[in-house]
Amino acid sequence: MDLHHAVASLGKSVKELNDLIEKEFSDSPDMDTKMFNEYAEALIELHTVKAELKVVYDSFAWKIQPKIDDYEPLTLENGLIEKSYNTRRTAWQHKDLASAVAQRISSMAIDMDTGEVKASTEEMITKLLDYIQPNYWKVGELRKIGLNADNYCETGDTRISLIIRKGKQEESNDYNE
């Protein structure tokens, strides 16, 4: 079996699994404890497969990436592959950086010929968002100053996540059990 065929076969299996899951839940929306436990066990197995597939994908991508041009995307019939370089940055000195950016913004807001300040304080603070992309707002802190974060964003449905931790049983790669 060649690599392309193996990947296509895996894709077909994933679709079949998804169809089976959809059928199971449409045929029996109410489940007893035994059925629930079987589904939960299957979810843990699927989580393991997902983790193993990620390892395979990452390894494959690592092997192929040296052949991809650094500047030109590789365009194929079924898609495009492009290299992206990201540097992991941690332990930011947020206050120092924000202060440095604020100084620059303040300097840029002053007309060098007349000394006139061309931007209001609000405009300068808003300009700061050109240089920073906050990952989140401190909703509790905003509430303390009388601001409701929901008035400043689009809110969607609450998302529930499951955290799956592997048990202490023997690892098995046999998915045909």
Asked if residue 99 and residue 70 are part of one domain, the reply reads no
In a domain, 163, yes or no: no
Q: What pTM was computed for the model?
A: 0.60
In a domain, 29, yes or no: yes
In a domain, 24, yes or no: yes
CA 162 to chain centre: 16
In a domain, 103, yes or no: yes
Asked if residue 77 and residue 11 are part of one domain, the reply reads yes
In a domain, 159, yes or no: no
Beta bridge mates, 79:
76
In a domain, 173, yes or no: no
pLDDT on residue 98: 85
In a domain, 7, yes or no: yes
Query: Element (H or E) spanning 18, and its range?
Result: helix 3-27
Residues 6+ apart with CB under 8 A from 52: 173
Asked if residue 77 and residue 16 are part of one domain, the reply reads yes
Beta bridge mates, 75:
80
The tokens for 2 are 């060649």
Q: For the chain, what is the domain count? A: 2
pLDDT on residue 80: 85
Asked if residue 65 and residue 10 are part of one domain, the reply reads yes
pLDDT beyond 50 at 174: no
Distance between CA 62 and CA 66 in Å, rounded?
Answer: 8
In a domain, 76, yes or no: yes
pLDDT beyond 60 at 163: yes
User: Residue 131 sits in which domain range?
Assistant: 94-152
CB 101, CB 132: distance < 8 Å? yes
Burial of 12 per CB tally in 10 Å (0-12, 13-18, 19+): exposed
